[in-house]
Structure 1
Amino acid sequence: MSSLLSLPPESAFAQDQAPAKDQGQTQAQSQDALFAPDDPINQAPKLIAKGQKQIDSITAAISKNTENDRDLINYKSQLDDLTGEILAYRASIAPRADDIAARLKEIGDPPKDGQPPEAAEVTQQRNKLNGQKTQIASVLGQLDDLSKATGDLSAKVTALRRDLFTRQLLAHTEISLDRVTSAVQSIGPETQRFTDLIDGWISFAWRFKKVQLASAFLLSLALAFGMRITLSRIFGPIIERGRLEENPSYMSRFSVAFWVTIMPTMAFSFFLASSFFFLDTFNVMRPDIAPIIGSLFSFLGLVYFVRCLGHALFNPEAPKWRLVRLSDKGARHLQNALIAMSVINGLDYVLGSVTETLGSPVDLTVLKSFISSTLVGCILLAVSFARPLVPKGKDASASGGRPWHRHTSIALRLFGIGIILASFTGFVGLARFIATQIILTGGVIATMYIGIRSGKAVSERDRFAETIIGRALQRRYNMGAVALDQIGIAAGLLIYIFALVLGIPLILITWGFQPPDIQTWFYNLFIEINIGGIRISIVGIISGIAIFLIGVVFTRWFEKWLDGNVMARSQVDPGVRNSVKTSVGYFGAIVAGIMGLSAAGINLSSLALVAGALSVGIGFGLQNIISNFVSGLILLMERPFKVGDWVATGTSEGFVRRISVRATEIETFQRQSIIVPNSQLINASVGNWTHRNKLGRIDVAVTAKSFCDPRNVVAVLKDVASSTQGVLRNPEPVVVFKDFTDAELQFEVRVYVADILSGLSVRNELRLSIFERFKKEGIIREETPPPVEEQAEEIEEKSLPEDANPDKSKLS
């Protein structure tokens, strides 16, 4: 906003004093003077012109070349970057329009006819703000048009790539004897050209790049070895522990299979990738040899991965670790078939890179794809007729075996026959694609499945404590079994995420998507997701959650420090300590929540809609919750009672143990916890025995026989009350003669105690003292019971009927 007011009002409106003939020129100059020269508004035309030029360049390039997918990917990446720049630029300018609108609203409308004129400075300021508003609106409109053009062109590039992939996949090539003969005849010359290319590069590297070549491989080996050691130290104990099991469980087999596949593959792939990187960085590779080296490294990585996966799945040497119930012979055959198909597909990919680099004839490219696809189809057919399953009632080492289940054998035959038919009918690209996906996509999905089951194994009860990380945590932080078990659950979840993050991009790449596509998707997924007018950032949400958790943890620490150090040393009342601690906790949580929402990129002003919806919800069913919440805040601020007070409500009586913003916990004398909603404590009468102090009065009712002297009884009671331990002398005890009848006299002893919480023991002691003193003074007389014979006669007389009593008959 400061840039909007950086120029004096007079400089923006010199055209008002300019002659009429120069009004157009002066207006243009004043328009330029609305913003500083380095202001983003004045810089916007340059960005718009640059973006439009880039769009025109890409449009022209697309019209000339739509057959190279890598070029189309590059164009798509440039357009996505341009879209991001436009949106960021627009986001930085748009709020200024709202600020100007707010300023114009503060200034108000110009005076109408007949109204007093306003000050010249106000008019100048309004005119300047209107000019700025117009210019910003113009820039925003141009940015929107440029963004729309960029989006349309990006969608067009995506459609071109989709069409190119479909055309290449469904391209039809005639398979004839002449084409096969031509391809065979070109093998010799192309082989010689390839040999000369490789010899020339090897001679060049050995003579001029010997040190760089050795350094590249040594650095790659060191990095791969370090990764392998790290993975082995983390997950090696799981594998070693599993291998010691005589009868490994299903989960143990999956866990070992996943890590014996992933660890060597990652180490070897890291070695290949780092080797390619260092060879390229040290300028060892020439531009013509780099694609061939890259395809060769990919081939080696694929074969090594499939070999590790096949060993984990079938494990010919250790039947107890097989994930599929196969015979030893069947496991060996299936592993060899899997490796053979990967070698065929890999060689096809390498040869395709070679023919593309050398510019070989199309017939040769078609022939090598035809041969590789047909071989893969034949292997699938052969596997479908195999008998690899363990015979019923026999072990894995038995000779012979059972065939596949019906559905499995049918699926294998359909895939095999489909690939062979597609190759012979000229759809070589489709046959090659299916054959490749059977190996790559199938292998990646199998690895992901094994990884997910491995994560489940790690998260099993008491399994994480046996890993090296679990033992280290237990040793260093003295963690218990429950804490380690919870960490094991989190570790299992991380393995799930690892398997998905590793597998999904690989599947997308095998289906024709390029790394820039995946990178853009992940960028949009984690940085910005547009849902209508709302932008969501997963990274921002994670950051907001992290900031909120940090704020809550800091608040809890500050609560404990404030309560245990400052207020405890100051001998603050426990109720005040509880109120202060609770208020600090809620205030800190609110501040942490606001900071977390801001870090997540959520505009707090947009929460007005949520507040409106919440108000509707309150009107329909949340009245009690809000009432209890507000009542809790009132209780914490007014403090009519505090933690530790003895209170009496309409339904319960006891000690206050906890006051929260929704309810208050009261513990009765029977140790029963009663949760009372705060609204009931606010709207009803609540007795507090210990509100200001613990001084209280206890009353003891006493009766005496009617023959006793009341004044003597009052004197005795007063003397006993004054001498009872725990009774205060000031205020002194009071004895009240409340009532009397023909049979008894009623008195009430009223005494005060310093701590009403000890009233029960004082009341009990007072009663005992009164009883003992009454016996001593003769107020309570001990009546001697009649002899046993008289009691028996009396009982007998009462049990007889009235007409059976001879004495009563005589009297009557």
Structure 2
Amino acid sequence: MRLLRFLAFCLVLVAGLAGTVSAQDAPDYESWEAAARRAEAAVETAQASDAALEQLRGQLAERREEFRAAQQTNSAAIAAVTAQIAALGPKPAEGEEAPETARQRAELNTRLNDLKAPVQRAEVAYSRADALIQQIDRIMRERQATQLLEVSPSPINPVNWPPAVEALVQYVYRTGLDVQENWQKDTRRAVYQRNLPVSVGLLLLAIVLVLRGRHWVELLVTTIQKPSRTAERWLAGFVMSLGQIVLPVVGLILLTLAATLTGLLGTRGDVLMQSIPAGGFAFFAARWLGGRMFPRDEQGEPLLALSPAQRIEGRFHASLLGFVLLLNAPLEAIAAQAEWSPVIVNVLTFPLMVVAAVSMVRLGRLLMRHNRAGAGEGADPDFRARVVALLSRAIIIVPVVGIALASVGYFNAGRALVFPPVATLMLLGLLVVLQKLVQEIYVLFSRNREGVNEALTPVLVGFVLAMASLPLFALIWGARRTDLSEIWDRFTAGFSVGETRISPTDFMTFILVFGLCYLATRLLQSALRSQVLPKTRLDPGGQNAMTAGVGYIGIFAAGLIAVTSAGVDLSALAFVAGALSLGIGFGLQNIVQNFVSGIILLIERPIAIGDWIEVNGQMGYVRDISVRSTRIETFDRTDVIVPNADFVSGTVTNWTRGNLVGRIIVPVGVAYGSDTRQVEQILREVAEAQPMVLLNPAPFVLFKGFGADSVDFEVRAILRDVTSILAVQTEMNHQIYERFNAAGIQIPFAQRDIWLRNPEALHAPVTPPANPGPVAPGPASSATAMLDAGDLPGQEGPGQDGGDGDGDR
């Protein structure tokens, strides 16, 4: 007891030192109090701008993370003190506690409260910061909803068109004036002249890349993929096809750089040129996706079941959507820089929305045609067909609704129903292309193109890609980055099971540790199976049992070590164990019974792999013993799965357990009148002549008795290999038949004599009555010969089958 207390004291001392060191990094609660008050005031008034609220939220998120880390302060010391208090035992309910124990308990409780104080303070600050963050998120969501439902000037009102056109022309005119003014400045002109060679070179290279780069890449891809349809060529062509996006976008970046180096662009020109690469990326990415979804040639398996004309239409509308995005990017940048009114923005953006909606409707109709072409006649649509059907209808309906809302004045809501579906459709197309990429990689490694559609690995990888794309879909449809970061923080924080918190990090730790332990178990099994056990005296069945036992113990130990490494308190699993025992009591009795029986079979080994056994009327060789059942291969080469409980609770005949020696019994019958001594001598000689029959003990001929048709003998011999019993029996029967023929000994067969009770009835004429009428029951008429049952030739009546021994032979 003293040693335990001394160790606990040392542990408390070390943990206290560690806590002292960690206390130096404690949060600054004074500055936090001032920041929290400012944040509460900003939240209460809700007058700050969106940018200010986002900045404030970021600061609160940093402090919240600091407080979360501070909750682990003194964790080791708290655990040590708690363990020491537990070592003292529970406080007695009745009577007084020993003074020394009471003093120690009071000191430890005081120490525990002191250690928990900074943790509790951090928990309070964390809760306060978290509440402020949630309030800011609520304000931002309310503002977002209000903005969507805001009524603005209608873009289809002709009154609003002249101001919008005038604003666009005015912006272009002022951009030209900025260039003219900069040209008149000597400093700007000097910069232009100095950078002119570089600007011209970049401009020429940009023109070449933008106008011809995509065409060159397309020719290269066609050259690579056209000769043959292989996974290597498809993957090489896929990688090369990315140049259709990279080269033109690089050209646009060079174009922007060339224009900037001239030094002639003003503020407006810089904003316009800097927005072009982003819009160009959207345009060329849309064209690339259109080319992958609607290819020009029909080589390989197309992603969509469409005709060549329909694929041309699909590529056109995909390019048209990209062109809309190309124009929308500089338009948004110009509107923000020029601070255009909502009227101007609505009027200039509405034509782009209409073009996008028309293209979306046409693409939705193409998806419908693909769905109808892929569905069989009269067959129920599968899951993929239903998803495509819903998606095609949504692509058609949602943009149309968006145009209608924008037309009546709900422009923000309408815009949110047009441009996000465009981005969503592009992202869905990218997922389809990536799924095709995964399938080709699978074909490259497996060399099984016919089974790629039925393989599980591409499906799992596709599911992972779909899950990874969910944040992108959320951002497309209006989610803020802070919303995603908040969800991620909640996810990484984990959930609580009792007093234990389980986080994704703990889950990954569990998977990693369990995987390593499982791998080590398999390596140990392999070493035992190939290196250690073959050098022992154990038979193959014992070696398999030993290897299987090591595997079960290793898996159990791997799970235990993984759970402990993940920081899960095993006492929390008591509820799971209770529920499991309840389930066993009701529905898992047979499974557990077979599992325990399998362990008994592996330990006691009454049967082993390769044994010839008979159980429940099934006879064959044991091929596999698992924890639930045993597989028996019968002599007709069929597998019979027998539950292990039948081997423990039932009767099992093992013909080859321990050794292959077994007995054979050959029954023989001879005719009455044969010389029985001669018969016995012949049978003994035939048995002794068999190579498989042991001479010690010698074969024995049993005079079994007198049968109904023969004198019965049995040849009983011991075989050195009982598995050859059928071959030995066949050979003995052949030799017995030959020796009996040579000695004139007959092998009888069953004979029966038929006795007719009144044979004269078969020869008497049968005269039908002149006036037939109903015959009354009674004795047979003299004019009619009635045959009793069994009087017909070849039939026997009761007592006439020779079984009574009266004149039957």
- Tell me if 1:575 matches 2:558: no
User: Residue 335 of structure 2 aligns with which residue?
Assistant: 352
Q: 2:53 aligns with which of 72, 78, 82?
A: 72
Q: 2:89 aligns with which of 88, 92, 108?
A: 108
Q: Determine helix, strand or coil for the equivalent of 1:700.
A: strand
Distance 2:97 2:296 in 1: 101
Structure 1 residues 489-541: Cα deviation after superposition (integer angstroms, max 9, x where no partner): 64466467557745x5555445544444434445655x455488786656765
CA separation of 1:182 and 1:681: change in aligned 2, threshold 3 A: closer
Q: 1:675 aligns with which of 641, 646, 650?
A: 641
Distance 1:301 1:748 in 2: 95
Q: Do the aligned partners of 1:667 and 1:673 also contact (CA within 8 Å) in 2? A: yes
Distance 1:590 1:796 in 2: 75
Q: Determine helix, strand or coil for the equivalent of 2:87.
A: helix
CA separation of 1:658 and 1:202: change in aligned 2, threshold 3 A: farther
CA separation of 1:575 and 1:10: change in aligned 2, threshold 3 A: closer
Structure 1 residues 293-336: Cα deviation after superposition (integer angstroms, max 9, x where no partner): 76554344345445656788899999x99979989999899679
Distance 2:739 2:495 in 1: 89
Q: Determine helix, strand or coil for the equivalent of 1:585.
A: helix
CA separation of 1:101 and 1:327: change in aligned 2, threshold 3 A: closer
Structure 1 residues 711-770: Cα deviation after superposition (integer angstroms, max 9, x where no partner): 565555444433332111223333444434697544433322222222222333334444
User: Residue 734 of structure 1 aligns with which residue?
Assistant: 700
Q: Determine helix, strand or coil for the equivalent of 1:36.
A: helix
TM-score by length of 2: 0.67
> What is the Cα-based RMSD across aligned positions, in Å?
6.3
Q: Do the aligned partners of 2:321 and 2:359 also contact (CA within 8 Å) in 1? A: no
- Tell me if 1:372 matches 2:348: yes
Structure 1 residues 144-192: Cα deviation after superposition (integer angstroms, max 9, x where no partner): 3222212211111102222343455556789999999998999699869
Q: Do the aligned partners of 1:537 and 1:601 also contact (CA within 8 Å) in 2? A: no
- Tell me if 1:753 matches 2:719: yes
User: Residue 131 of structure 1 aligns with which residue?
Assistant: 110
Q: Do the aligned partners of 2:221 and 2:241 also contact (CA within 8 Å) in 1? A: no
Q: Determine helix, strand or coil for the equivalent of 2:17.
A: coil
Q: 1:611 aligns with which of 577, 584, 588?
A: 577
CA separation of 1:675 and 1:572: change in aligned 2, threshold 3 A: same
Q: 1:678 deviation in Å?
A: 0.8
Distance 2:416 2:123 in 1: 44
Of 557-566 and 573-582, the range deviating more from structure 2: 557-566
User: Residue 163 of structure 1 aligns with which residue?
Assistant: 142
Distance 2:198 2:567 in 1: 47
User: Residue 445 of structure 2 aligns with which residue?
Assistant: 473
CA separation of 1:86 and 1:696: change in aligned 2, threshold 3 A: farther
CA separation of 1:130 and 1:170: change in aligned 2, threshold 3 A: same
Q: Structure 1 counterpart of 2:333, which letter?
A: V
Q: Do the aligned partners of 1:261 and 1:309 also contact (CA within 8 Å) in 2? A: no
Distance 1:649 1:421 in 2: 82
Within 5 Å, give how 1:279-294 maps onto structure 2.
none
Structure 1 residues 676-700: Cα deviation after superposition (integer angstroms, max 9, x where no partner): 1111111122222222222222233
- Tell me if 1:152 matches 2:131: yes
- Tell me if 1:298 matches 2:285: no
User: Residue 442 of structure 1 aligns with which residue?
Assistant: 421
Distance 2:53 2:247 in 1: 33
Q: Do the aligned partners of 1:444 and 1:506 also contact (CA within 8 Å) in 2? A: no
Q: Do the aligned partners of 1:704 and 1:746 also contact (CA within 8 Å) in 2? A: yes
User: Residue 759 of structure 2 aligns with which residue?
Assistant: 801
Distance 1:619 1:546 in 2: 34
User: Residue 603 of structure 2 aligns with which residue?
Assistant: 637
Q: Structure 2 counterpart of 1:369, which letter?
A: V
- Tell me if 1:620 matches 2:586: yes
Within 5 Å, give how 1:550-561 maps onto structure 2.
552=518, 555-556=521-522, 558-561=524-527
CA separation of 1:75 and 1:431: change in aligned 2, threshold 3 A: same
Distance 1:568 1:547 in 2: 31
Q: 1:376 deviation in Å?
A: 4.2
Aligned residue pairs total 704
- Tell me if 1:342 matches 2:325: yes
Q: Do the aligned partners of 1:373 and 1:432 also contact (CA within 8 Å) in 2? A: no
CA separation of 1:293 and 1:700: change in aligned 2, threshold 3 A: same
Structure with greater proportional helix content = 1
Within 5 Å, give how 1:630-709 maps onto structure 2.
630-705=596-671, 707=673
Distance 2:605 2:222 in 1: 58
Distance 1:723 1:657 in 2: 34
CA separation of 1:729 and 1:557: change in aligned 2, threshold 3 A: same
Q: Do the aligned partners of 1:698 and 1:751 also contact (CA within 8 Å) in 2? A: yes
Q: Determine helix, strand or coil for the equivalent of 1:674.
A: strand
Q: Do the aligned partners of 1:183 and 1:367 also contact (CA within 8 Å) in 2? A: no
Structure 1 residues 31-50: Cα deviation after superposition (integer angstroms, max 9, x where no partner): x9992264578568647667
Q: Determine helix, strand or coil for the equivalent of 1:682.
A: helix
Q: Do the aligned partners of 1:383 and 1:412 also contact (CA within 8 Å) in 2? A: no
Distance 2:604 2:256 in 1: 72
Q: Determine helix, strand or coil for the equivalent of 2:633.
A: strand
Within 5 Å, give how 1:9-24 maps onto structure 2.
none
Q: Do the aligned partners of 2:619 and 2:634 also contact (CA within 8 Å) in 1? A: yes
Distance 1:758 1:11 in 2: 73
TM-score by length of 1: 0.66
- Give 5+ residue unaligned stretches, structure 1: 13-31, 245-254, 278-284, 356-361, 391-404, 423-429, 784-793, 806-812
CA separation of 1:628 and 1:596: change in aligned 2, threshold 3 A: same
Q: Do the aligned partners of 1:695 and 1:756 also contact (CA within 8 Å) in 2? A: yes
Q: Determine helix, strand or coil for the equivalent of 1:587.
A: helix
Q: 1:627 deviation in Å?
A: 0.5
Q: Structure 1 counterpart of 2:539, which letter?
A: D
Q: Do the aligned partners of 1:657 and 1:665 also contact (CA within 8 Å) in 2? A: yes
Distance 2:221 2:402 in 1: 38
User: Residue 807 of structure 2 aligns with which residue?
Assistant: none
Q: Determine helix, strand or coil for the equivalent of 1:129.
A: helix
Distance 1:406 1:729 in 2: 88
Q: Structure 2 counterpart of 1:107, which letter?
A: L
Q: 2:552 aligns with which of 578, 581, 586?
A: 586
Within 5 Å, give how 1:405-554 maps onto structure 2.
415-416=402-403, 418-422=405-409, 431=411, 434-435=414-415, 438=418, 440-454=419-433, 464=439, 469=441, 472-473=444-445, 479-481=447-449, 490-491=457-458, 494=461, 498=465, 501=468, 504-522=470-488, 524-525=490-491, 527-530=492-495, 541=507, 544-545=510-511, 548=514, 552=518
Distance 1:473 1:257 in 2: 17
Q: Determine helix, strand or coil for the equivalent of 1:679.
A: helix
Q: Determine helix, strand or coil for the equivalent of 1:739.
A: strand
Distance 1:486 1:574 in 2: 38
Distance 1:679 1:389 in 2: 61
Within 5 Å, give how 1:772-787 maps onto structure 2.
772-775=738-741, 780-781=745-746
Distance 1:385 1:34 in 2: 68
Q: Structure 2 counterpart of 1:563, which letter?
A: R
Q: Do the aligned partners of 1:314 and 1:322 also contact (CA within 8 Å) in 2? A: no
Q: Structure 1 counterpart of 2:109, which letter?
A: N
Q: Determine helix, strand or coil for the equivalent of 2:139.
A: helix
CA separation of 1:345 and 1:558: change in aligned 2, threshold 3 A: same
Q: Do the aligned partners of 2:671 and 2:711 also contact (CA within 8 Å) in 1? A: yes
Q: Structure 1 counterpart of 2:51, which letter?
A: R
Q: 1:626 deviation in Å?
A: 0.6
Q: Do the aligned partners of 1:309 and 1:443 also contact (CA within 8 Å) in 2? A: no
Q: Structure 2 counterpart of 1:372, which letter?
A: L
Structure 1 residues 752-798: Cα deviation after superposition (integer angstroms, max 9, x where no partner): 222222222233333444444455555x2489xxxxxxxxxx99999
Q: Do the aligned partners of 2:74 and 2:116 also contact (CA within 8 Å) in 1? A: no
Distance 1:33 1:470 in 2: 55
Distance 1:113 1:385 in 2: 82
